[in-house]
Structure 1
Amino acid sequence: MEIKAWTYEEYPGYSEEVPGAVRLKTTGDEVGVRYLHDVEYARVDDVPLHLQILLPFTRNEPDKIYPCMVFIQGSAWMEQDVWMQCAMLSGLARKGYVIAVVQYRHSGLAPFPAQIQDARNAIRYMRVHASEYHADPDGIVVGGDSSGGHTSMFCGIAREGGELDASLFPGVSAEVKGILNYYGSVSMMYEEGFPSTVNHHMEDSPEGLLMGKVNLKEHPELCRKGSVECWITPELDMAPTMIVHGTKDRTIHTYQSVQLYEKMKACGKDVRLYLLEGADHGGAEYWTEEMCSLAHEFIQYCLNRC
């Protein structure tokens, strides 16, 4: 055989029969996922912030463009393990989505709303660099779990140039087509909101640290500021929202998601709620084939609305 730079189409392949070998057919449409680790998307106050990017690919369409989900990994707003769910998120990536997992400035570095500002700048980064990552700049949704669910909801509430926004990409929008909130810590309004947080609302609690290391029992105005439902009004324009919560979540009470769902419905928002029977705070239940299919259907609904 001649040694040269063969194209895939012209390469003859191996055709000899091999006794005992089993030949399995392929189509070229099988979806794989590449992982790009620690991609710096911003540097704020000399703090580098990174993305973990999952890229779907097929043999037949190496240059295909995919919708993108910017996903905020939860951490009680503390330092994140941004790698912990990449393997499970790959199930959704295989359905044809670029997924960019966001590192934000944690509460030990910067208080609310720094996390929202960072996530919105990650959205802008993916929009600016869309061609590099085979992403559709007009097909971006935001998602997150736990504290990342809180951040993802606020990403959909924030407005360009508003108090929750601080763009590092002038002229680039951080708007999204949809929001996916997985068991988000969306409210600071309920005494039973965090069933296993014994220092609830104190200066050293996750929510107290987020809001500036303050005793939230003495600052109800900060509880309202950090609670998603307090920002929801009939006039607020929001992307469609999918909320998923387990019924045995010991970290963030399911009631938080139920109350947010009911407030959004009352204000005329496009929202759906899925309650996973027996599911705790995170786990494989949220990334089964069924749940990835529901997320896929929801994202497609969001992308096809306009």
Structure 2
Amino acid sequence: MEVKEWKYEDFPEFDESVEGAVVLDTTGDEAGSRYTGQHVEYVNENGVPLHMEIITPFTRNNPEGVYPCVVFVQGSAWMKQDVPAQLPLLARLAERGYVVAIVEYRHSGIAPYPAQAIDARNAVRYIRLHAVEFHVDPERMILSGDSSGGHTAMFGGLRHNDDTDENQFPGVSAEVSGIINYYGSVSVLFDGANPSTLNYKLPDSPEGMEMGGANLRESRELCEELSVECHINKDTDLAPVLIFHGTKDRTVHTRQSVDLYRKMKAVGKKVQLYLVKGGDHGGAEFWTPEVLAIVDAFIKDCFKGI
């Protein structure tokens, strides 16, 4: 055989009959994903570099395709994140045909609320600005996250132009077509909202740190400021929301998502809630083919008319 730079289409296929060998048919549309962006710095906030990890889908027939993007905020109780922690699970979503960008935010030890939502919005802007490089369709963007990242995703979708003072990419939109909230820590309005947090709402608790070291037990006003449902009314501009929450979540009580869902339904917002029976605070049951099919259908519905 001649040695040269073969094009795939021109390379002769091996077609000898081999006794005992089994030939498996393929279409070229079998989906895979690649870890294409490692520790990509997307912004520097006052000397604090923030990074993202990027997973890109591919098929043999479409190795350099352009895809919608899911910007995913890794939860951490608003503390320092282990950003790549769920790369293997999020790769399952990428294989559905989405670029997935897992973003780091400023943790509560260096910047309290709403810094995390501002960072998520700047991550959306950065992806849009570099859409060609990352094989992203800039008109098809979804914001997502789990736990404190779900809280961040919700507020990222609520802020709109309120972060102009920290917009690192003037003229680039941070708007998204939908929000996916996995067991988000979205409320501190009721006792037991975080059933395993022994110092719940005290200054050194995750939620207290997120509000600058405040004692939330002494301030209903600050509790409402941190709780997503208090920022939603019939006039609120908010993209459709998809919520997943386990029924045995020991970290973020299921009622947080239920109360948010009921509030959104009451004021006429588009929202879906799926309760994962027996699910704790995360796990593989949130990334099954059944759940991914729900996510895929939700995202496609968000993009109708674009």
Q: Aligning the two structures, in what range does the TM-score lie when normalised by the shorter sequence?
A: over 0.9
Q: 1:164 deviation in Å?
A: 8.3
Give, as a single letter, the amino acid of the residue that structure 2 aligns with 1:170: P
Structure 1 residues 54-113: Cα deviation after superposition (integer angstroms, max 9, x where no partner): 100011112221111000000000011111111011111111110000111111111111
Q: Which residue of 2 aligns with 1:130?
A: 131
Q: CA distance change for structure 1 residues 275 and 305 in 2, over 3 Å: closer, same or farther?
A: farther
1:114-125 → structure 2 map (5 Å cutoff): 114-125=115-126
Q: Is the 8 A contact 1:93 1:99 kept in 2?
A: yes
Q: Which residue of 2 aligns with 1:185?
A: 185
Q: 1:16 deviation in Å?
A: 2.7
**SS of 2:133 mapped into structure 1:** helix
**SS of 1:83 mapped into structure 2:** helix
Q: Which residue of 2 aligns with 1:270?
A: 270
Q: 1:266 deviation in Å?
A: 0.9
Q: Which residue of 2 aligns with 1:140?
A: 141
Distance 2:184 2:6 in 1: 51
**SS of 2:139 mapped into structure 1:** strand
**SS of 1:28 mapped into structure 2:** coil
1:79-94 → structure 2 map (5 Å cutoff): 79-94=80-95
Distance 1:142 1:292 in 2: 16
Structure 1 residues 143-189: Cα deviation after superposition (integer angstroms, max 9, x where no partner): 100000000000110112x1587210010000000000000000111
Q: Which residue of 2 aligns with 1:284?
A: 284
Q: 1:26 deviation in Å?
A: 1.8
Q: Which residue of 2 aligns with 1:245?
A: 245
Q: CA distance change for structure 1 residues 19 and 165 in 2, over 3 Å: closer, same or farther?
A: farther
Unaligned runs of 5+ in 2: none
Matched, 1:30 2:30: yes
Matched, 1:47 2:48: yes
Distance 1:116 1:178 in 2: 15
Give, as a single letter, the amino acid of the residue that structure 2 aligns with 1:79: K
Q: CA distance change for structure 1 residues 84 and 126 in 2, over 3 Å: closer, same or farther?
A: same
**SS of 1:84 mapped into structure 2:** helix
Q: CA distance change for structure 1 residues 182 and 281 in 2, over 3 Å: closer, same or farther?
A: same
Q: Which residue of 2 aligns with 1:11?
A: 11
Q: 1:279 deviation in Å?
A: 0.7
Q: Which residue of 2 aligns with 1:21?
A: 21
Q: 1:131 deviation in Å?
A: 1.1
Sequence identity (%)? 57
RMSD: 1.2
Q: Is the 8 A contact 1:116 1:165 kept in 2?
A: no
Q: Is the 8 A contact 1:197 1:205 kept in 2?
A: yes
Q: 1:304 deviation in Å?
A: 1.0
**SS of 2:125 mapped into structure 1:** helix
Q: 1:224 deviation in Å?
A: 1.1
Q: Is the 8 A contact 1:113 1:164 kept in 2?
A: no
Unaligned runs of 5+ in 1: none
Q: Is the 8 A contact 1:29 1:58 kept in 2?
A: yes
Q: Which residue of 1 aligns with 2:60?
A: 59
Give, as a single letter, the amino acid of the residue that structure 1 aligns with 2:115: A
Q: Which residue of 2 aligns with 1:110?
A: 111
Comparing 31-40 with 16-25, which one deviates more in the overlay?
Answer: 16-25
Q: Is the 8 A contact 2:118 2:163 kept in 1?
A: no
Comparing 216-225 with 68-77, which one deviates more in the overlay?
Answer: 216-225
Give, as a single letter, the amino acid of the residue that structure 1 aligns with 2:7: T
Give, as a single letter, the amino acid of the residue that structure 1 aligns with 2:38: H
TM-score normalised by length of structure 1:
0.97
**SS of 2:229 mapped into structure 1:** helix
Q: Which residue of 2 aligns with 1:97?
A: 98
The total of aligned residue pairs comes to 305
Distance 1:284 1:12 in 2: 42
Q: 1:305 deviation in Å?
A: 4.6
Q: 1:27 deviation in Å?
A: 1.4
**SS of 1:143 mapped into structure 2:** strand
Distance 1:166 1:235 in 2: 25
Structure 1 residues 113-166: Cα deviation after superposition (integer angstroms, max 9, x where no partner): 110111001101111111111111000001100000000000110112x15872
Structure 1 residues 235-260: Cα deviation after superposition (integer angstroms, max 9, x where no partner): 11110000111111111111111110
Q: Is the 8 A contact 1:242 1:298 kept in 2?
A: yes
Q: 1:202 deviation in Å?
A: 0.5
Matched, 1:300 2:300: yes
**SS of 1:39 mapped into structure 2:** strand
